Amino acid sequence: MMNGSDHLTGDMPAQPADFSAVALERVRALLAAPDMEAGAQLPPERDLAAQLGVGRRAVRRALEVLEAEGRVWRRQGAGTFAGPPPGPRAAHHRQLPATPATLLHVIESRLALEPSLARMAAARATPEVLRRIATCIDRIETAPDVDAADLWDSALHREIAQATGNPLLLVLFDRINAWRHDQGIRQLRMRARVRTGTGHAQDDHRRILDAMRRADAPAAGAAMRDHLTELHAIFLRYSQEELTADDG
């Protein structure tokens, strides 16, 4: 079994900026190497960041997304490994069809869960967590492309889930987030938002953060619900347009 560091090349272009989108692209390339076996151990985050030419935080964000997708798995104290997790956990990563109906299922699942996460997080978030959420919002605003903005949006919502301090809720969030980042579903999301607009997502994010800073749990939950309800409306319009186009 080959260690992940064997796939890294010395002429990797330097990219010191903390761009998680860049890190995600490069780790994906590492995992896609023909001789990268399932179960191969990746280098530690510090080494991976240096060898890929990105910041350590960017690597951490990228690995979180890839773990949610089932592309890597981590064991505390042991490291990060390529491929889906062994045993029964792998069944959670069963593929769903990349259809507008699945897109709606994902946002409906988020609506059922994330307002509660925001309420709980508002009561428990530390100043450091609030700072990280604010950073995510800023990074969405200044992202160089749609892919980077989407990655920081995912990081923002995961920070909120993690701020609950409840590991079971975080697992539920990650399971749903895995479908959100499925390649086919992600393409549908992007297509829907290009066609119908993005609404007021950043304003919504700021309202969520403001409520969390005030430790106003009901307001945080309501802001998250409003945010996801608007996304649901966007995806529903897209789904209906796709059905109309198919009928035509």
Q: The CATH number of the domain where 165 resides is what?
A: 1.20.120.530
Residue 2 has pLDDT above 60, yes or no: no
- Residues 57, 160, single domain; the answer is no
- The pLDDT, as a whole number, for residue 124 is 97
Residues 67 and 111 in one domain: no
Distance CA 24, CA 28 (A): 6
Residue 5 lies in a domain: no
Confidence of residue 127 (pLDDT cuts 50, 70, 90): very high
Distance, CA of 123 to CA of 224 (rounded, Å) = 15
How many CA atoms are closer than 13 Å to the CA of 156, on its beta-carbon side?
A: 24
Domain count, the chain: 2
State how far the Cα of 136 lies from the Cα of 130, in Å rounded to an integer. 10
pLDDT value at position 198?
A: 58
Q: 45, 64, 89 — which closes off a domain?
A: 89
Q: Is residue 63 part of a domain?
A: yes
Q: Are residues 182 and 140 in the same domain?
A: yes
How high is the pLDDT of residue 8?
42
The lowest-confidence range among 77-86, 188-197, 201-210, 212-221 is 188-197
Indicate whether 83 belongs to any domain.
Answer: yes
Give the chain's mean pLDDT.
Answer: 82
Burial per residue of 202-237, b for 16 or more beta-carbon CB atoms within 10 angstroms, e otherwise: eebbebbbebbeeebbebbbbbbbbbbebbbebbbe
Which helix (H) or strand (E) element contains residue 80? strand 79-82
Which range of residues forms the domain containing residue 103? 95-247
Whether residue 192 sits in one domain with residue 169: yes
- In this prediction, residue 91 carries a pLDDT of 45
Which of 57, 89, 121 represents a domain boundary (last residue)?
89
Q: What is the mean pLDDT of residues 4-16?
A: 42
Cα 67 from Cα 74, distance rounded (Å): 8
Q: What is the CATH number of the domain that holds 57?
A: 1.10.10.10
CA-nearest of 208, 205, 207, 212 to 121 is 212
81 and 126 together in one domain: no
What average pLDDT does the segment 208-220 reach? Answer: 98
Q: 180 with 189: CB under 8 angstroms?
A: yes
84 and 187 assigned to the same domain: no
**What is the Cα–Cα distance from 234 to 109, expressed in whole angstroms?**
15
The pLDDT tens digits of the residues spanning 72-88 come to 888 878 899 988 776 54
Note if the pTM is more than 0.75. no
pLDDT of 58 > 60? The answer is yes
* 4 CB burial (10 A radius; 0-12, 13-18, 19+): buried
Boundary of a domain, candidates 40, 63, 89: 89
- Are residues 115 and 68 part of one domain? no
Whether residues 99 and 117 share a domain: the answer is yes
